[in-house]
């Protein structure tokens, strides 16, 4: 059982992440706001509660591995990496600048802590599955985690990978799905419905957990439960709100691939309580 103190500390990290995400995106003037804010609690729970990793040695042999399949949420990923100590917090303000180590989508060749380059949706689960197979072959007591978007679960490759991961009984793999209900063209249910979603994953042979994607206790409990699953991979379907934390960004799909103005940033930071 996760203690109240741990949950409180994770909540503080989540707040800092949202502040950093909003500031870096406004400074860059381009990037993906909504889907970055919806993934905050998932990333916080992984990096500050569950995963074994070492910022001082990103290639540590015994590390758990992470794949951000929904690569457009890179600002959230960079924020958690910076708070973890992979690079200075100040570097976040160089997002998308020419020559920066923080590209528009995760790029493993230049960013410490990034295992694989992502951004082409639908491919991350295949890469995570490959890492999990490698871990089994190498007899490593390590785990692989991946965050997918619900929009990219409309991609056929996701389901081919899901079938493969179950076939190889990858119980060292845990997928978290940021189910914020939107993709770039609009609501998932209007573009291409994915329901019955949980039942699909169960039918493909996965252990399924369903949580409130902004409830840190539910997420951490699910991560603990997933680690105990044997003989099959696990998926945590996290119901989230796109743009979580800022009222005028929440569920407003125009912020899928756009950033706040300076005036909107000030309003957003006040809502979050950046000065508190």
The Cα–Cα gap between 117 and 213 comes to 24
Q: What is the reported pLDDT for 35?
A: 97
pLDDT cut 70: percent of the chain above it: 100
Average pLDDT over residues 114-135: 97
Q: What is the pLDDT of residues 170-204, one digit of tens each?
A: 999 999 999 999 999 999 999 999 999 999 999 99
The Cα–Cα gap between 123 and 157 comes to 7
Can you read off the two tokens belonging to residue 270?
Answer: 């006040």
- Classify strands 65-68 and 234-239 as parallel, antiparallel or unpaired: unpaired
pLDDT at 132 over 80: yes
pLDDT at 1 over 90: no
Q: What is the reported pLDDT for 95?
A: 98
Residue showing tokens 């960004």: 249
Can you read off the two tokens belonging to residue 269?
Answer: 């930071």
Alpha helices in 58-191 (DSSP H): 74-84, 124-137, 156-167, 188-191
Give the number of other CB atoms < 10 A from CB of residue 210. 16
Helix axes 4-28, 74-84, angle to 10 degrees: 120
Q: What is the pLDDT of residues 83-110, one digit of tens each?
A: 999 999 999 999 999 999 999 999 999 9
Q: What is the pLDDT of residues 104-122, one digit of tens each?
A: 999 999 999 999 999 999 9
Range 190-193, long-range pairs (CB < 8 A, 24+ positions): 191/151, 191/154, 192/154
Per the rule left: phi > 0, alpha: psi between -120 and 50, beta: everything else, 255 is alpha
Q: Which of these, 237, 239, 261, lies nearest to 248 by C-alpha position?
A: 261
Q: Which domains does the chain have, with CATH numbers?
A: 4-272 (3.40.50.970)
Q: Which of these, 265, 273, 237, lies nearest to 249 by C-alpha position?
A: 265
pLDDT at 276 over 90: no
The Cα–Cα gap between 248 and 22 comes to 13
**What is the pLDDT confidence band of residue 275, given thresholds at 50, 70 and 90?**
confident
Q: What is the pLDDT of residues 19-43, one digit of tens each?
A: 999 999 999 999 999 999 999 999 9
């Amino acid at each position: 059982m996760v203690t109240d103190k741990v949950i409180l500390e994770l909540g503080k990290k989540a707040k800092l992440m949202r502040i950093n995400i909003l500031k870096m995106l406004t400074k860059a003037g381009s990037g993906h706001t909504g889907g970055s804010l919806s993934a905050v609690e998932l990333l916080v729970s992984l990096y500050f509660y569950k995963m074994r990793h070492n910022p001082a040695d990103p290639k540590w042999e015994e590390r758990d591995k992470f794949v951000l399949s929904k690569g457009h949420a890179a600002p959230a990923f960079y924020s958690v990496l910076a708070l973890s100590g992979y690079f200075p917090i100040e570097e976040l303000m160089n997002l998308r600048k020419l020559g920066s180590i923080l590209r528009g989508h995760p790029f493993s060749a230049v960013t410490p802590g990034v295992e694989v380059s992502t951004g082409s949706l639908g491919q991350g689960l295949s890469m995570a599955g490959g890492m999990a197979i490698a871990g089994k072959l190498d007899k490593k007591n390590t785990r692989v985690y991946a965050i997918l978007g619900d929009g990219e679960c409309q991609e056929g490759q996701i389901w081919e990978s899901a079938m493969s991961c179950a076939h190889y009984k990858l119980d060292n793999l845990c997928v978290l799905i940021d189910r914020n209900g939107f993709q770039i063209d609009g609501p998932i249910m209007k573009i291409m419905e994915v329901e019955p979603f949980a039942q699909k994953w169960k039918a493909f042979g996965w252990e399924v957990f369903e949580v409130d994607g902004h409830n840190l206790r539910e997420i951490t409990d699910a991560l603990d439960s997933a680690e105990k699953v044997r003989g099959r991979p696990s998926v945590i379907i996290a119901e989230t709100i796109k743009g979580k934390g800022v009222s005028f960004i929440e569920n407003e799909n125009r912020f899928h691939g756009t950033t706040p103005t300076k005036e909107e940033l000030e309003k957003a930071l006040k809502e979050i309580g950046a000065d508190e």
